[in-house]
Structure 1
Amino acid sequence: MRLFHPLLPWYIDVYKTVDSGVTVEDVIMQIYIALQSSINAQQYYNEELGSEIMERIAGAYERRTQGTDEKWNGIKRVDYLEDRCMFVGLVRSGDGMWEIRTR
């Protein structure tokens, strides 16, 4: 099952953990794990993002880590969602993938 979000520059692939198919737990846990991954400099400093988007990501990182030791872990994929990190659900797209909806 392949997921995407308009603000994320990569896909999240969800794999089944039981023979009967992908479970809700599979989806939620694998989204969480993917978004908690730290990014490297190459993923952040690239021509595709542009300075305005980089500033918004940096702002999300600052808000998320304010007053915590989490700051030492750097920018994570979840910061690309900026302030839209409340999970709303999934919507099937025309190409067989699923769009992650957030607010």
Structure 2
Amino acid sequence: MKMNKDPIRGREGFSLIEAVLSAALILLGATAFLTMAAANGKLLLQSGRIAKDSYGWEAAAADGEGEKTGETMEVIFQKDGEEAVEVFDQYRMPQDEQSAGEGVPFFRYREP
């Protein structure tokens, strides 16, 4: 950017308009960065909460908690004409006390 020469003093420098525009651009960049950082912080908190809940549900499922839904899943393995079947019952872990009908589904192994 070419600097303007001050006609009275004969020195080069920035005009007031150039200084205001550059400050506005810096402010715009800083605002965009802070907005992005705030959004990422919110997502980080949300993912941490989901991970914490996930570990709690996993521990509760391992302790035998959860409501059986009545649905099953069969996994069939085949190799060289032989077949093996594993059966899993579906359970549902309520997310909280208010949503007892809905929750996180998981499967527990059952002897076929």
Q: State the TM-score bracket (shorter-chain normalisation).
A: under 0.3
Q: Which structure is higher in RCO with an 8 Å CA cutoff and minimum separation 6?
A: 1
| Greater Rg by CA | 2
Q: TM-score, normalised by structure 2?
A: 0.20
